[in-house]
Structure 1
Amino acid sequence: MTDANPRTEPSMVDFEQSYQDHTLLPGEAVLDRLPWEIGRPQPELVEFEKSGRVHGDVLDIGCGPGDSAIYLAARGYRVTGLDLSPTAVEKARMRAATERVSVSFAVADATELTGYEGRFDTVVSSALFHCLEPKQRRPHVDALVRVTRPGARLIQFTFAATDYSDAFAPYAIDENELRATFDTADWSINTLRPGNLTAVASETILASFAESGFRPELDDEGAMLLPIWVLEADRR
């Protein structure tokens, strides 16, 4: 890692507080939109759905304001969206009602998922895994095993460890950890490749990144494209 890159301190990230006051960390600038509130599904997820790799009952874990869940429900899937933040869940419910789609949203701990055993055929996990502390990851993966049926599919987008990932990722993940976690007796990896996560490019965030020497790629609409690992794994 470069010394010019200021590290995001994971213990300071409080997502419930972020949803309430639209700041990323205490004392930082108030944002019009949080970086992950893009108001639409991630393009990577759209491609997975178009190619027929989403099926059955769907869990959107770490659903946030509901971008993935609402998109999939509008496509005809039965979707449950779970998040630790009550404020995020309420926002998601309001959006679903406005868009007239049916999604079951609830507050839940991603390391437990009690009450959802054996329910899901597809799990969508967009920008959650890298928010978990190392000690939380195994309980989370164990919980995913409990709530999925044999043959279920996990579609997961996780910030990749790069020279500048400390500027935007609570815990950036490397390829070896993903292989060790999901090439197991419980999971079989189908896809593990680099990709991009679309994120809101506010002037405040771009200025902060520039100070650390990081200048993210932007798409045609001016959104940031941040490096991720795209993982597709099947439950054995």
Structure 2
Amino acid sequence: MTAQPPPEDPEVPNPWQELDDLYAVRPPWEIGRPQPAFLDLARSGVIRGRVLDVGCGTGEHALMCAGLGLDVTGIDLAATALRTAVDKAQRRGVAVRFLHHDARRLTDLGERFDTVLDSGLFHLLAPDDRPAFSGGLHEILRPGRRYFMLCFSDREPESGRRGPYRLSRHDITGAFEGALRIDAVEPATIDITLDEVGIRAWRVAMTRT
């Protein structure tokens, strides 16, 4: 399968137009490689089967999974990022399907997956949007399959600017209660281009029971 430029869905509202605009230049979370916390998962062999990368950005984690020989779909609302992801896939000669799609409407994909990756999507969702997202994950994940999430931690100081939610363990467990079983919430780091120390984060592993 050859990567094709994903069409924008005119029926999908984009509440994060400002996020899409940020991709006109390189945003700090685009480090040109997979996040180490997710690269470790790939090396451990826990990423398996059909993979969905939600909030895939410019595609580094989707491309990482495709390099493992997996069937991968990446979704995002940032059309600029998706065009970059398609270009990367073509240049690297790997097959990934990239779609302009709202992660709060996962069931609209009409598909099921074995692994879902989320590097920096969930911590952008307003509390009112989290039930739709977690419920969608429950529907699209096959029983026994897994969701891995990397998000800002409440251990990361507030910057004084609007940005991702700093999530506590309680925020995470509450958001997914009844949808997925939480297997682990571990301290991690999100690498960024602006600070070699990175962002204090959680790496979360969950299972669809």
TM-score, length-normalised on structure 2? 0.86
Correspondence for 2:167 among 158, 162, 173: 173
C-alpha distance in 1, partners of 2:85/2:114? 22
The equivalent residue for 2:121 is: 128
Q: Is the 8 A contact 1:159 1:165 kept in 2?
A: no
C-alpha distance in 2, partners of 1:186/1:134? 15
Correspondence for 1:65 among 46, 58, 67: 58
Q: Is the 8 A contact 1:166 1:172 kept in 2?
A: no
Deviation sequence 1:46-105 (CA, Å, 0-9, x none): 111111211110000000000100111011111000001111111100110000000000
CA shift in 2, pair 1:75/1:133, >3 Å: same
Q: Mind listing any 5+ residue stretches in structure 2 that lack a counterpart?
A: 1-14
Describe the SS at the equivalent of 2:99: strand
Q: Indicate whether 1:200 and 2:193 are aligned.
A: yes
C-alpha distance in 1, partners of 2:97/2:118? 16
User: Which structure is larger by alpha-carbon Rg, 1 or 2?
Assistant: 1
Pairwise CA distance, 1:189: 1.2
The equivalent residue for 1:230 is: 203
Describe the SS at the equivalent of 1:151: strand
Q: Indicate whether 1:16 and 2:9 are aligned.
A: no
C-alpha distance in 2, partners of 1:140/1:121? 17
2:169 aligned partner, one-letter code: E
| Percent identity for Structure 1 against Structure 2 | 34
1:171 aligned partner, one-letter code: Y
C-alpha distance in 2, partners of 1:95/1:71? 11
Q: Is the 8 A contact 1:111 1:139 kept in 2?
A: yes
Which is further off, 155-164 or 124-133? 155-164
Pairwise CA distance, 1:197: 0.6
Deviation sequence 1:150-198 (CA, Å, 0-9, x none): 111000001011361345742111111111223x333111111111011
Structure 1 ranges of 4+ moved more than 6 A: none
User: What's the Cα RMSD here?
Assistant: 1.8
TM-score, length-normalised on structure 1? 0.77
C-alpha distance in 1, partners of 2:33/2:156? 28
The equivalent residue for 2:131 is: 138
The equivalent residue for 1:209 is: none
Correspondence for 2:68 among 75, 99, 114: 75
